[in-house]
Amino acid sequence: MTYKELRKIVEKEFGASRPADIAREFAVTPQVVSNWKARNQVPYKYVKILRTKISDSKLGKGKNRLVSMLSERLDLSNSSFESNQFRNVEKSAIEIFNFFSDKIQKHFILIIAVPLIFLFLSICHIKFISEPVYVSSASILPLSSTPKSSGLGSIAKQYGLSVNNNRSSSLSSAEMFPAIINSRRLSIELLEYEFVTKKYNKPEKLIRIVTGINAPPKKWSASQKKRAARQVSRMISVTRNRDSPLLIVNVAANESQFASDLTNSILIVLEKIVSRFKLSNLLEKKIFIENRIDEISRDLRLSEENLKVFRESNRNILSSPALLLEQERLLREVAVQSEIYIRLKSEYEMVRIEEASEGSIMQVLDQPEAPGFAVSPNPFRQNMLSIILGIIFVFTFIIGKDWFLINKDKLRTVNDK
């Protein structure tokens, strides 16, 4: 912009024609304005300041007219580029708005009717087709079954043997609880439990509830039981807290009370399964210790008999170093066998005590409760989604139809070729 053009605009808009007045308007020194006058050129940043001042001082059409006049007088390439870009964006927005407003005016009834149809179908699906899903949860804390270093391990270490006391891989350990809950074994055992539901109004086995097949238990085939067990397994999910061994058992069912009762039954079956594995391990350990006690008892009696015979045969051994060394060897053998025997007896008594005890294998922090509302379907979310899908469908249909009508002749020519 030239200085003459700037002076005319400032004089017209703000009544300032002298260089000192123009300098006050732009917050610069009069020397700067004198330089503009000498070069007859105004820097672009002051042109932008001028545009801002004019925009702030005018409203409505007067403001738009002055801004347009100022934009037309800019002779810098940056100003032209910004103006053209703004006009292109504004033009594109207007074209899009006109396009959709034209379509809405022409197909107003269709645009309203189709989303309403989708909404009606969604409401019918919620009311008459889809089943509600209720989720009951229970928080359990497994009690670790990993023992500390046992007496057998201590004895083995004395002989340089390594005994792994970590039972995390055992099915009775707390780490295996999620796998047991999601196992086919637990699902199959649950199939024999009876539950009361609104559908049957009397106690029915779970296998009939999940499949709907009315048949005596003896007539169920193995494949039918497997399919029913898979359905039950899909109803159960387990989540574990990373920072603690706490487990959250979630059960999804089509009835609120049924979901709560099924969660309770899962906890009962879980405790039974783990207890059976635990007793099985204790029984194996008990049998092993009994066999070892018998072997060590024989070895101890034999060692004691050898020491007795040696002492009877050698009354005066103080004068013979070889006999003293042999006596020490026999005494050491008796001591080792005695220590092993004592440790085995102690371990055997511990196993018997553990076998007789009936301690719980887990603590239930939050008992399962009947949920007060269904998690699925969500009427509001599903209805809103149906309306959005209806709008997308109707606009896709309208645009596709118009495109086909416009390009119908071209498509026909291509097919003829």
> Is residue 348 a contact partner of residue 80, using CB atoms and an 8 Å limit?
no
Is there a single domain that holds both residue 115 and residue 251?
no
Structure confidence at residue 112 (pLDDT): 92
Helix, strand, coil in percent for the chain, rounding step 5 = 70, 10, 25
| Residues 6 or more apart whose Cβ sits within 8 Å of residue 25 | 10, 14, 16, 53
With a cut of 50, list the residues of the chain below it in pLDDT: 59-79, 145-150, 159-169
* 8 Å CB contact between 181 and 236: yes
Residue 31 to residue 33: CA distance in whole angstroms: 5
Could you tell me if 223 and 339 lie in one domain? yes
- pLDDT, position 67: 42
pLDDT at 266: 94
Is residue 91 situated within a structural domain? no
Q: Do 175 and 271 belong together in one domain? A: yes
Q: What is the pLDDT of residues 329-372, one digit of tens each?
A: 999 999 999 999 999 999 999 888 877 766 677 889 899 999 98
Q: Which domain holds residue 38?
A: 1-75
The type of residue at 301 is R
User: Using CA atoms, how far apart are residues 327 and 322, in angstroms rounded to an integer?
Assistant: 9
Task: In whole angstroms, give the CA distance from residue 339 to residue 155.
Answer: 9
Residues counted in the chain: 417
Give the number of C-alpha atoms closer than 13 A to the C-alpha of residue 69, restricted to the C-beta side: 15
Please report the pLDDT score of residue 82 as a whole number: 52
Q: Are residues 342 and 405 in the same domain?
A: no
> Is residue 332 located within the same domain as residue 392?
no
User: Domain check: are 166 and 289 in the same one?
Assistant: yes
Residue 89 lies in a domain: no
Is residue 83, in this structure, part of any structural domain at all?
A: no
Domain count, the chain: 3
Token pair belonging to 369: 């409760």
CA–CA distances in Å: residue 118 to residues 46, 127, 225, 323, 345: 58, 14, 40, 105, 77
- To the nearest 10°, the Cα dihedral for 357, 358, 360, 361? 70
Domain boundary among 31, 54, 75: 75
Distance of CA 358 to the CA centre of its chain: 36
Is the pTM of the predicted complex or chain greater than 0.75? no
Residues 247 and 313 in one domain: yes
Establish how many alpha carbons lie within 13 A of residue 168's alpha carbon, considering only the half-sphere containing its beta carbon: 3
Say what the pLDDT of residue 359 is. 63
DSSP H or E stretch at residue 123: helix 108-124
Residues 246, 152 share a domain: yes
Contact by Cβ (8 Å): 49, 29: no
Q: Is residue 327 part of a domain?
A: yes
Helix (H) or strand (E) holding 175: none
Rounded CA separation 413/417 (Å) = 6
State residue 217's pLDDT score: 61
Q: What is the rounded CA–CA span in Å between residue 387 and residue 356?
A: 65
Judgement on whether residues 125 and 245 belong to the same structural domain of the protein: no
The reply to whether 298 and 387 lie within a common domain is: no
- Does residue 101 lie in a domain region? no
Helix/strand/coil for 142: strand
The reply to whether 70 falls in a domain is yes
Residues 168 and 307 in one domain: yes
CATH number where 230 lies: 3.30.1890
pLDDT in tens, 282-300: 888 899 999 999 999 999 9
Q: Return the bridge partners of 250, or none.
A: 137, 237
Q: Is residue 96 part of a domain?
A: no
86, 78 in Cβ contact below 8 A? no
Question: 254 in a domain, yes or no?
Answer: yes
Q: Strand order in 134-142's β-sheet?
A: 236-240, 247-253, 134-142, 362-366
Name the β-bridge partners of 240.
247
Question: Long-range contacts made by residues 191-200, C-beta under 8 angstroms, separation at least 24?
Answer: 191/225, 191/228, 191/229, 191/232, 192/217, 193/265, 193/269, 195/258, 195/261, 195/262, 195/265, 196/257, 196/258, 196/261, 197/255, 197/258, 198/255
- Is the bond leading into 377 cis (omega within 30 degrees of zero)? yes
43 and 17 co-located in one domain = yes
Q: What is the pLDDT of residue 114?
A: 92
Distance separating alpha carbons of residues 70 and 83, to the nearest angstrom: 11
